[in-house]
A and B are shown apart, each in its own frame.
Chain A
Amino acid sequence: MCVVGGGITGAGVARDLALRGVDVVLLEKGDLGVGSTGRSHGLLHSGGRYVVSDPESAAQCASENRILRRIAPSFLKDTGGLFVGMKGDDEEYYSRFVKGCRRAGVRAEELSPEEALRLEPGLSDDVEVAFRVMDAVADPFLLTVANAYAASLEGAEVHTYAEVVGIDDGEVRFRSNGRERLVKAEVVVNASGVWAARVAELAGHAITLKPYRGTILVYAGRASEHVINRLRMPSQGDIMLPHRNTTLAGTTFSPEERLERYGIEPEEVQVLRREAERVLVKLRTRRILRAYAGLRPIVGEGRKRDFSLIPEDGFITITGGKFTTYRLMAEHASDEVCRQLGVRARCTTATTSILEEEDREGLELYRERYGALGTQAAEYADRRRRICLCEGVTEGEVLFAAEKLFCRNIRDIRRRTRLGMGYCQGRRCNLEAALVLYSAGMIDHSTVHTQVLNSLRERWKGLLPIAAQVDEVLRELRLMEATFGCAACYDRIKKHVRGLERFL
């Protein structure tokens, strides 16, 4: 069978089926997790957010949260979470929240405002009510890669930069490296997220999907150790969470027409700043590194956040849902695949760990960064030269990602290792990382230029929406220009280097 889409859901389906002994080929048109997955918070919801508005989703979140803690502890940070009600918030919502939690099986323990402030000194004095919940945080890219990696260990084939161009009678055609290729599949799972309608169309099916854009701001430094949720009807700017050495603040909710090249409005940035800095006052003194936006694939009307399984004969679409419930979505899709293929094997992902962890001395740093994949990363430990100074990524980590984790370019490597995600947004490490690949014989010199420019372009995209509002960001942009424009003359050589013409 063939899975179309290498987000968390597609990678989850690939792993689920590979574990059941089914032959799986996964096709992803870009990099793993590059769509809605990587543009999410990476929050493993306790369920609390949905207990009033969408109890079914809340119950799913609560139970999946417990399962993922069991099967993927190395890929999660058990931060715990707080729901906080602020002065002026709707007090009636508080009691509905408590009732909802009880009904959906979401554990929530009430704290006094003083206790909440003691746990999180960065919170505002305006906090009136607080509940502690079981939130956790995952690196969405890494969890996706881990699923794909685990699937490949069970025999699944994983192809990135493989865009599906046709689906008919047991054949999936895809374009890879400029050539068209073919894979035979009795069943196709469409796990392409917001692109689900387009992929379905290739197979002659019609699906209605409404994408909603959600924008997230990245602040430097951890402003809290818990996930902080607003205790109110789901709205904009409700969630702040510590992710590695940053704080993510999101999100917005606005309908989006385009699936690619959508922008971020200055008003969204203002709303997020206002909401986040009101609750987590510590953020007021923190620098904003960048902004990013993703699309939620929402099926049907309203803001219900549960997922949809659309089982056609030989073509199964799984979409909607949330990062937290990806495993359950994969289970449902895989059950349907097995039903159609006549395979009797049962789902084991609720009890099988994603990669076995090794507890060996010297692995701590790698485990912290790469979870159970840390064992593989540690094999490169002798290449200690720092490539990314902001995030402390070594040459060994760059090579590890390039050789083991389905990477094609330095942007893919960034998603695995956090290379270039810090203060300078890659100004100092883009070239350096490309040169590691060059020296290892993986790319030629003109590809170095293309990759550096592509990477600059991506970083630029995240800096643009906030540049006019944050002085430090303008400074970084100007430094990028001074380095790659003034010193390197990249603005002028574009037409002279093979492959750079398209930047004109």
Chain B
Amino acid sequence: MRVVVVGAGVAGAIAALRAAERGMEVTMVHHAAGASHRSLGVVDVLGYLEEEVESPAEGVEWICRHRKEHPYALTGADTVAEALEFFRRKAEEAEMRFEGSLDENIHVATQFGTVKPTCLAPERVYTGRVELWDGAMVGISGRVQRDYSPAFIAASLAELVPRLVKVRPAEVVHGEGELTLKPLSQSGDGEAALPLLGDGRAVIEALVRLAESAGVRVVRDRITGGSFRGNLLEELRGVRSTYRADAFVLATGDWIGGGIHGRQELLGLDVAGRLELRKIPLPESGHPYALRGVAVDGNLRPSRRGRRIENLRVAGALLAGYDYCTEKSGWGVAIATGYLAGGVE
């Protein structure tokens, strides 16, 4: 069975890896870096609902019960857990260790001098999680580089950390050296790193390489359209070539990756959500346009002019019904839906 996956972000990579593992003949078509390439490279599953979420597992359960349109409600909580283990296993095969658990979020410091909740993090980042700073002396040092000032991060965190995560005030030191953060409470433990914008790229590229070595054909092309017959997608047309398959996965991202547009959607799929913005930037409640995306059924199948497309599935930020920016759920949704979409029969 031939499967074509469009998009090489987290969702696309996971979908391709899963389909390949199930013995499919997979082609991955990708065009440009999207949101996950630019991200911190940590796996947010669920950081906030109305309030901050302590246990992502419980938060996902709550979503499954109360937010029917949310992608987690479509995949179900069990799939989320299964998919995360799949991701962890694949990351390990690509020689990257991700630590953390669905039971409890951890907090990581950012280059913005802020703290953010997340679920899984690469080992070095996990070692530097804010939870370990209790009563500790935290050393942030490093060369000043773009968007990064150790002195600023240290000063800002000194004020923020106690107020956000209820740990005792940390004494802050900073100096010269490498780009590291040292949780000194851990007697002699290894150094830890801050997650930086753009760290996502290395993770995704490693997953794509892994997919390639598992037999996935990776092609660079931009999809411009497709042909449908009845309730089936027959082929996708790219600038360079045409792609025919038995099943398709669309994981092209939201506006950032160019998967969705304000006025016209790829392939004319049915879309849910309004194109509306609020006046204030970054409200906690999010902007209505962020929920806009392709509407799908419980198997992630979209429809076109009201008619369900049987052999097409949608994964990742292209989906309607959630806002990863306010929820902090980006990679979690991408992994869960990518995993489900890649499990084609």
Residues of A whose CB lies within 8 Å of any CB of B are: 428, 431-432, 435, 438-439, 444-446, 448-449, 453, 456-457, 460-461, 464, 467-471, 474-475, 477-494, 496-498, 503
User: Contacts A448-B156, A492-B52: A487 and B256 contacting too (C-beta < 8 A)?
Assistant: no
A412 to B149, CA, bound (A): 22
Q: A448: which B residues are within 8 A, CB to CB?
A: 113, 152, 156
B179 to chain A minimum Cβ distance, whole angstroms, is 15
Contact present for A489 and B152 (CB under 8 Å): no
Contact present for B39 and A475 (CB under 8 Å): no
B271 to chain A minimum Cβ distance, whole angstroms, is 14
Q: A488: which B residues are within 8 A, CB to CB?
A: 110, 112, 114, 116
Q: A439: which B residues are within 8 A, CB to CB?
A: 144, 149, 151-152
Within 8 Å of chain A (Cβ to Cβ): is B164? yes
Residues of B whose CB lies within 8 Å of any CB of A are: 35, 38-40, 44, 47-48, 52, 110, 112-117, 144, 146-147, 149, 151-152, 155-156, 159-160, 163-164, 197, 254-256, 258, 261-263, 275-277, 279-284, 287, 289-290, 324-326, 328, 330
A484 to B275, CA, bound (A): 21
Q: Which of B110, B152, B155, B263 contacts A487 (CB 8 A)?
A: B110
A190 to B56, CA, bound (A): 60
- Sample (22) of A-B pairs whose CB atoms are under 8 Å apart: A431-B147, A438-B149, A448-B113, A456-B281, A460-B281, A469-B262, A471-B262, A474-B255, A475-B258, A478-B254, A478-B255, A478-B256, A478-B290, A479-B38, A483-B38, A484-B112, A484-B281, A488-B116, A490-B112, A490-B282, A491-B325, A493-B160
A346 to chain B minimum Cβ distance, whole angstroms, is 50
Add 4 more A-B contacts to A446-B159, A471-B261, A482-B256 (CB < 8 A): A438-B152, A488-B112, A491-B283, A491-B284
Q: Which residue of B lies closest to A428 (CB)?
A: B147
Contact present for B160 and A497 (CB under 8 Å): yes
Q: A449: which B residues are within 8 A, CB to CB?
A: 113, 156
B46 to chain A minimum Cβ distance, whole angstroms, is 13
A387 to chain B minimum Cβ distance, whole angstroms, is 9
Contact present for B256 and A445 (CB under 8 Å): no
Q: Which of B152, B289, B328 contacts A474 (CB 8 A)?
A: B289
Tell me what chain B mostly uses at the interface: helix, strand, loop, or mixed: loop
Q: Which residue of A lies closest to B48 (CB)?
A: A492
Q: A469: which B residues are within 8 A, CB to CB?
A: 262
Contact present for B256 and A479 (CB under 8 Å): yes
Q: A479: which B residues are within 8 A, CB to CB?
A: 35, 38, 256
Contact present for A484 and B149 (CB under 8 Å): no
Q: Which residue of A lies closest to B149 (CB)?
A: A435
Q: Which residue of A lies closest to B112 (CB)?
A: A488
Contact present for B282 and A481 (CB under 8 Å): yes
Q: Which of A428, A431, A480 contacts B112 (CB 8 A)?
A: A431
Contact present for B48 and A475 (CB under 8 Å): no
Q: Which of B40, B44, B255, B279 has the most CB of A within 10 A?
A: B255
A449 to B48, CA, bound (A): 21
A395 to chain B minimum Cβ distance, whole angstroms, is 11
Q: A444: which B residues are within 8 A, CB to CB?
A: 155
B291 to chain A minimum Cβ distance, whole angstroms, is 12
Contact present for B328 and A489 (CB under 8 Å): yes
Q: A435: which B residues are within 8 A, CB to CB?
A: 147, 149, 152
User: Contacts A457-B281, A478-B256, A482-B35: A490 and B330 contacting too (C-beta < 8 A)?
Assistant: no
B194 to chain A minimum Cβ distance, whole angstroms, is 11
